[in-house]
Amino acid sequence: QVQVVESGGGLVQPGGSLRLSCAASGSIERINNMGWYRQAPGKERELVATISNSGSTNYADSVRGRFTISRDNAKNTVYLQMNSLKPEDTAVYYCNVNAFYSDVHILIKGPDDYWGQGTQVTVSS
Q: What is the pLDDT of residues 1-24, one digit of tens each?
A: 799 999 999 999 999 999 999 999
d(CA 92, CA 94): 7
Contacts by 48-52 with C-beta closer than 8 Å and gap 24+? 48/80, 48/93, 49/80, 50/96, 51/78
Average pLDDT, the chain: 96
| Confidence band for 104, pLDDT divided at 50, 70 and 90 | confident
d(CA 67, CA 108): 34
User: Residues 6 or more apart from 107 whose CB is under 8 A from it?
Assistant: none
What's residue 125's pLDDT?
92
What's residue 69's pLDDT?
98
Residue 88 DSSP symbol: G
Q: Once rounded to an integer, what is the mean pLDDT over residues 65-70?
A: 98
d(CA 90, CA 88): 5
What's residue 107's pLDDT?
87
Of the candidates 94, 95, 100, 64, which has an alpha carbon nearest to the alpha carbon of residue 82?
64
* 73: helix, strand or coil: helix
What's residue 1's pLDDT?
78
- Is the pLDDT score of 106 beyond 90? no
- Is the pLDDT score of 98 beyond 90? yes
Distances (CA, A) of 14 to 56, 66, 97: 29, 13, 29
Q: Once rounded to an integer, what is the mean pLDDT over residues 34-42?
A: 97
What's residue 68's pLDDT?
98
d(CA 6, CA 12): 17
| Confidence band for 87, pLDDT divided at 50, 70 and 90 | very high
